[in-house]
């Protein structure tokens, strides 16, 4: 036990073993001990061996043997930087794929066809949604507090009375609901995503396009600067159904849109005042833009003075 040779594991084969060539394949088996875990590792490497016959033109072969470097190429040390294997893999790309993105605008016919397609797709989706809503809403109503919910006119007619009166009643209900309790707002907040880090060029329409695939959107609000009407880089997207909102949240979290990475979070319940926070900061601070404007004016005055002098 004390002898150092005993410390070696006797079960470890001393050398890697290479099998003879069989069906053009050769297997090499080697053993080693992982330095971290101390576990015995067996590595089996199968190598395919084949002979490749490459025919070379006699003239070419003779020339390649004859030719020696000359001119600038004879300096060996220079060779290193002259011939370089490109690091990027370059493929033959299909130009027609590219064109579908940019080409639409160029070719009016194609653009029209594209628009038409989009139109039909929208129509179909609307129909499906209508179906979905007709089937889906009552189920939700069963879930609780059905009275406060908006009921589509088609449903109402079945519920009671004439269509018009039903509609009005529902309207009244809705007004009551929105005025009376904050519950309605809370519901909406629960389905609302606050999306930040949007690029300035993004419009509400773009956002609608981006989010519409996840489900029916009830509202898209893009925060804009009051004076410049430029996007402030965040928006609220309200979905009709919470599940859709959740899906959108999962899918688009960290999504690269317009060179920026979107950040999504649930809109904080703001006590009935949607996103009034932005407005309050504007009024309350008194610095920020107001200050900037003032200084601007002053500067212009000053410059006037100097020019007059």
**Cβ contact 222:231 at 8 Å:** yes
Cα-based distances in Å from 169 to 21, 191, 209: 88, 26, 34
Query: Which residue lies nearer to another protein by CB, 34 or 93?
Result: 93
The token pair at 174 is 């809705």
How many residues sit in the footprint of another protein (CB under 8 A)? Answer: 32
**Cβ contact 189:270 at 8 Å:** yes
Query: Which residue lies nearer to another protein by CB, 65 or 142?
Result: 65
Residue 90 within binding range of another protein, rule CB under 8 A = yes
**Cβ contact 265:236 at 8 Å:** no
261 beta partners: 256
Residue 86 within binding range of another protein, rule CB under 8 A = yes
The token pair at 215 is 């489900």
Residue 67 within binding range of another protein, rule CB under 8 A = yes
Cα-based distances in Å from 53 to 22, 25, 32, 60, 64: 20, 18, 37, 16, 18
Residue 100 within binding range of another protein, rule CB under 8 A = no
The residue among 237, 224, 294, 299 whose CA lies nearest residue 263 is 237
3-class secondary structure, 216:
coil
Contact characters 40-59, another protein, x per CB under 8 A? -----------------x-x
d(CA 81, CA 211): 51
Residue 142 within binding range of another protein, rule CB under 8 A = no
The residue within the footprint of another protein, chosen from 2, 11, 22, 83 (CB under 8 A), is 83
Residue 168 within binding range of another protein, rule CB under 8 A = no
Query: Which residue lies nearer to another protein by CB, 79 or 295?
Result: 79
What is the nearest approach in angstroms of another protein to the Cβ of residue 199?
18
Q: Which stretch binds another protein (CB under 8 A): 72-80, 143-151, 172-180, 289-297?
A: 72-80
Upper half-sphere CA count for residue 65 (Cβ side, 13 Å): 6
The residue within the footprint of another protein, chosen from 20, 38, 71, 108 (CB under 8 A), is 71
Query: Which residue lies nearer to another protein by CB, 118 or 172?
Result: 118
What is the nearest approach in angstroms of another protein to the Cβ of residue 59?
6
Residue 118 within binding range of another protein, rule CB under 8 A = no
Residue 92 within binding range of another protein, rule CB under 8 A = yes
d(CA 65, CA 252): 62
Q: Footprint of another protein on this chain (CB under 8 A)? A: 57, 59-60, 63-64, 66-67, 69-74, 79, 81-96, 98, 113
């Amino acid at each position: 036990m004390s002898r150092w040779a005993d410390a070696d594991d006797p079960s470890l084969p001393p050398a890697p073993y290479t099998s003879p060539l069989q069906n053009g394949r050769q297997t090499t088996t080697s053993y080693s001990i992982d330095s971290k875990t101390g576990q015995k590792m067996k590595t089996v490497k199968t190598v395919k061996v084949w002979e490749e016959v490459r025919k070379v033109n006699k003239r070419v072969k003779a020339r390649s043997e004859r030719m020696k470097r000359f001119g600038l190429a004879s300096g060996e040390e220079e060779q290193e930087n002259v011939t370089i294997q490109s690091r990027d893999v370059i493929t033959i790309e299909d130009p027609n794929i590219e064109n579908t993105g940019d080409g639409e605008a160029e070719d009016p016919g194609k653009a029209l066809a594209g628009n038409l397609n989009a139109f039909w797709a929208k129509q179909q989706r609307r129909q499906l949604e209508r179906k979905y809503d007709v089937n889906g809403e009552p189920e939700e109503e069963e879930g609780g507090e059905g009275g406060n919910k908006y009921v589509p006119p088609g449903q109402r007619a079945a519920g009671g009375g004439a269509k018009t009166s039903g509609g009005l009643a529902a309207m009244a209900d809705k007004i009551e609901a929105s005025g009376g309790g904050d519950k309605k707002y809370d519901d909406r907040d629960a389905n609302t995503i606050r999306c930040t880090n949007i690029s300035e060029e993004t419009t509400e329409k773009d956002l609608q396009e981006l989010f519409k695939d996840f489900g029916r959107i009830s509202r898209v609000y893009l925060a804009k600067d009051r004076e410049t009407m430029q996007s402030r880089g965040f928006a609220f997207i309200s979905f009709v159904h919470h599940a859709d909102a959740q899906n959108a949240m999962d899918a688009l979290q960290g999504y690269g849109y317009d060179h920026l990475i979107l950040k999504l979070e649930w809109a904080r319940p703001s006590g009935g005042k949607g996103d009034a926070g932005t407005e309050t900061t504007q009024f309350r601070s008194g610095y920020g833009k107001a200050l900037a404007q003032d200084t601007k004016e002053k500067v212009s005055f000053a410059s006037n003075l100097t020019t007059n002098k």
